[in-house]
Amino acid sequence: MKEKVSLVRCEDYSEENVEDALRESLSLISGIKKFVQRGDKVLLKVNLLMPRKPEAGITTHPAVMKALARMIKERGAEVMIGDSSMWMTNKALKLCGVEEVARELGVKAVNLDTFRPRKVKIKGGKVLKEVYIPSLALDVDVLVSVPKLKAHELTSLTGAVKNLLGLIPGRLKTEVHKTAPDPESFSEALLDIYSVVKPSFAVMDGVISVEGSAGVGGTRKVGVILASDNLLALDTVAGAIIGYKPEDLPVNRMAKKRGLKGVSLKEIEVLGEEISEVAEPRFRKPSRLIRLLGSFPALNPFFTNDYKPVLNRKKCIKCEICIEHCPVGAIKADDEGYPEFDYDKCIQCFCCREGCQAGAIELQESLLAKMISRVMAG
């Protein structure tokens, strides 16, 4: 039997449009009744990367959280909405609109970092042998992944599977980057997490997306909402909409080796719109070189530091957040308080760039890297 993914158009974040799209999306995959029963405790694991307003496009939009929470509440279930951000989760809950939604609907906004983490062994883990997961995420009856569709340097897109990284408490997330610095091993780490934390279903906010390198390339309307109980299949369809073949996605390549389903369009039934009807070919993908290097790890040593984070001093506000969160301690403050990069230590995870609220960290491609990118692009 094929994996089912619903694909529904949603032109904007007006409450009415989002609710209509979400109801249709869920009804196409057998309806909310299949997943949520009266009295269930349900956690919506949204993507609150960091404290930013919804208009920035990097976090799950509150209109999507609200419509989904309302539908689940109508089933007589208890709803919680939350995440563990890269930093300042409480501020993110407020700025990203979770607290307001929670107040309006009478549901709970939860900071996952405030729940006791529990160690979970990963039997057969390829990269991670154990992870710490907040007890709440393990104890709820229904866990729902509610990602934001975005470009991502390591995984090409941030989707339903990548959203699970946010379950790792606080700074432990950066340890995953440290252990798995390249696209292939990072994808294996995500699949290791997915092997022990299985959301019942996922709903993706693909209305307004963020494109380009490190997810800071600007917003792009894609205009869709997707849902599925197979997170890999959902990401495969989302990838196809923004121009990726299934095998372009490193998570899919690794998942295929594990024999997991949902990593090829042949094994997926798309319900609702056709992919071709909503495809967004103008979507700007992250750096091609980094993705290509991920496909050929043996080449990486030859290109180390050919693609690196650099500081734009004019934009930097010296908040030191990048210094605190670099997983390998490759950034320190210089005499004037500006971050300084140690490229011998840098593992090019671009967490610093992704998390800089001032947009002060840019990517610098060396001449050699530019030439190779062009040659590889044919």
CA end-to-end span of the chain, whole Å?
Answer: 39
Q: Rounded to an integer, what distance in angstroms lies between the CA atom of residue 23 and that of residue 272?
A: 12
- Cβ density class 292-330: b for 16+ within 10 Å, e for less: bbbeeeeeeeebeebbbbebeeeebeeeebbbebbbeeb
Taking the complex as a whole, how short is the minimal distance between the CB of residue 279 and ligand SF4, in angstroms?
31
| Residue 198, CA atoms < 13 Å, CB-side half-sphere | 7
- Residue of the chain from 75, 91, 284, 318 that contacts ligand SF4 (CB under 6 A): 318
Q: Closer to ligand SF4 by CB, 265 or 347: give it.
A: 347
Only segment of 77-85, 98-106, 122-130, 347-355 that touches ligand SF4 (CB under 6 A):
347-355
Taking the complex as a whole, how short is the minimal distance between the CB of residue 192 and ligand SF4, in angstroms?
21
Q: Are 19 and 8 in contact (CB under 8 A)?
A: no
Binding mask 276-315 for ligand SF4 (x = CB under 6 A): ---------------------------------x-x----
- Residue of the chain from 352, 363, 369, 372 that contacts ligand SF4 (CB under 6 A): 352
Look-up of token digits 């007890």: 135
- Residue of the chain from 92, 160, 227, 349 that contacts ligand SF4 (CB under 6 A): 349
- 186 is a contact residue toward ligand SF4 (CB under 6 A): no
Q: How far is CA 315 from CA 11, 269, 326, in A?
A: 33, 46, 19
- 339 is a contact residue toward ligand SF4 (CB under 6 A): yes
Strands 41-46 and 78-83: parallel
How many residues contact ligand SF4, by CB under 6 A?
A: 26
Nearest 5°: the CA angle 32, 35, 40 is: 105
- Residue of the chain from 347, 365, 366, 373 that contacts ligand SF4 (CB under 6 A): 347
Q: Which residues contribute to the site for ligand SF4 (CB under 6 A)?
A: 309, 311, 316-322, 326, 328, 330-331, 339, 341, 346-352, 356, 358, 360-361
